[in-house]
Amino acid sequence: MKIPQPIPEHLLKAFYARDRRYDGVFFTGVTSTGVYCRPVCRARKPKRENCVFFNTAAEAELADFRPCLLCRPELAPGVSGVAPNSPFVEPEDQTLGERQQRRNSKQAFGVTPKQWQRTQNLLLAKRLLTDTEMSVTDVAFAAGFSSVRRFNDVFKQRYQLTPTGLRKTKAQNPEQKDWLRLTLNYRPPYRWQELLAFLASRQIYGVEHITDHSFARSLALVNRDGSTVHGEIKVTHNEAKHQLALAVSAGLHPVIATVIDQAKQVFDTQAQPQLIAENLMAGKIPGNFSDKGLGLRVPGSFAGFELAVRAVLGQQITVKAAATLSRRFCDRFCQPYQGIQPELTRLPVSAHVIAHAHVDDIASLGIIARRAEAIIAIAQQVCSGQLVLAPGADAEAVINQLQAIKGIGPWTANYVALRALAWPDAFPKEDIVLRKALAGADAITRTAKQAEALSQPWRPWRSYACLYLWKIAHDQSV
């Protein structure tokens, strides 16, 4: 359950130094107070003999520690692959026995799937109670509890405090009427402008609106009762506090847990920049990664099917030309939307709509028939459940499934895995820009096979290598 004694010296140093690189990587239980804290906690540090170290918040709570009300462990950045939608929590592979699932979860997180999920639910509820004006009833259901009574009982048992008691000193915020305002913490450095620029050049007109300082888009998400809810978000950057500000419209409150989790994936707030940099530099990645690559994030996707469509539309044409096709596609197939932000006029494309579309309907937009057929095939497989385009899916299996569709090659499949699946080890070796960036001093463009061989030492962080190499190529072209 806890990290074996003696306490690793590097964790002890990180804890006393309030090292942000380790925020969310481990938690410290203080035996003299019964609370557990993030490494960055501003409270006076306890004596060493009163410290117990845990890999996860779930481990700390299983050991009867309560979350610190000052540093708020629920706000800590996660660790890539350790999220509420982890396959250890809700495994996609139904052939995996329950005992094996529990064993895998214990090895990965130190707790069982149910213990992990319960902690995530409680921490989300604590966050919503503290940061929003949502009613206790709405918080209970948004956090995954089946009843308010059950929520109250578990909350009081675990935290020795009632949900309403936590709110006694909370000031009312009139701005919460139309928006929920939350924060997403990250480990610095964070190259916000590079991430925005990448997303802006590929934004979907009407569904997304990206400026030099903000990201906004509409969302259509499935609620726990099977209904679809609509709304919008806006994300800005607070560099001084090492966090992103996430505003969520009222229509999305029932699915706030999904919105938060998706935002973490899209903006890659769980990345560990120093760890990734050390791995890539040890693998002799070309150029100066510490100067040009440290802090780069892999941009994810709020809608996997939407991203797959955008990837197919972008095959063998420029980013600008793909944006034009994407706009036509959106105008033709996306449902109109009217919300708070006037620039958002469409909802994301629905796989169900495209699954029943005719090839000629898509081809009439100037899209090659084979690509139109591929888009329809993807939609049909998504609707049937055969193809899962979301973080937590088996990346290798999804890549193979996509490549089995006529008109989809390795580049498209890997690009979808990189963004829709948030897979940190995607490597579209066929990408000509990437291969040119690998040329080095000899200025000879690498073959796809050579690029693949060169990339092996960078595993499992090749997606970050891709973003870095694309940035090198872009910088050299301007």
Q: Where exactly are the structural domains of the chain?
A: 9-75, 98-166, 304-477
Residues 249/233, Cβ–Cβ less than 8 Å: yes
Which residue from 244, 224, 225 is spatially nearest to 235, judged by alpha carbons? Answer: 244
Per-residue pLDDT at 94: 44
Profile the chain (478 residues) by mean pLDDT over runs of 10 residues. 66 93 94 96 93 93 95 90 42 54 68 90 95 94 95 95 81 66 96 96 95 97 94 97 96 96 97 96 94 96 97 91 94 96 97 97 96 98 97 96 96 97 96 88 78 96 96 82
DSSP letter for each residue of 53-122: EESSHHHHHHTTPEEPTTT-GGGS--BTTBSTT-TTTS-S-TTS-HHHHHHHHHHHHSS-HHHHHHHHHH
**From CA 36, how far away is CA 51, in angstroms rounded?**
9
Assigned CATH for 9-75: 3.40.10.10
What amino acid occupies position 339?
G
| 98-166, CATH topology level | Arc Repressor Mutant, subunit A (1.10.10)
**HSE (CB half, 13 Å, CA atoms) of 413?**
20
Q: Which amino acid is at 148?
A: V
Whether 431 is a known active-site residue: answer yes
Question: CA 33 to CA 221: how far, in whole Å?
Answer: 41
Report the pLDDT value the prediction gives residue 100, as an integer from 0 to 100. Answer: 67
Whether 181 contacts 245, CB under 8 Å = yes
Burial level of 94, CB count in 10 A (0-12/13-18/19+)? exposed
CB atoms closer than 10 angstroms to residue 340: 15
CA 278 to CA 436: how far, in whole Å? 23
Dihedral sign, Cα of residue 43, residue 162, residue 121, residue 296 = negative
CA 399, CA 419: separation in Å to the nearest integer? 12
Q: Among residues 178, 431, 442, 475, which one is catalytic?
A: 431
User: How many Cβ atoms sit within 10 Å of the Cβ of residue 239?
Assistant: 11
- Distance CA(137)–CA(148), nearest Å, equals 6
Indicate if 304-477 has the same CATH topology as 98-166. Answer: no
| Long-range contacts from 25-32, C-beta under 8 angstroms, 24+ separation | 25/79, 25/272, 26/53, 26/54, 26/55, 27/53, 27/54, 27/55, 27/56, 27/57, 27/59, 27/60, 27/73, 27/76, 28/52, 28/53, 28/54, 29/2, 29/53, 29/54, 29/60, 29/63, 29/65, 30/65
- Neighbour-count burial for 440-466, b at 16+ CB within 10 Å, e otherwise: eeeeeebebeebeebbeebeebbbbbb
Give the H/E segment covering residue 31: none
Report the run of H or E that residue 179 belongs to, with start and end. strand 179-185
Give CA separation, 465 vs 126, 150, 265, 391, in Å: 37, 46, 18, 19
Residue 17, C-beta contacts closer than 8 angstroms, at least 6 positions apart: none
CATH annotation of 304-477: 1.10.340.30
Peptide bond before 410: cis, by omega within 30 degrees of 0?
A: no
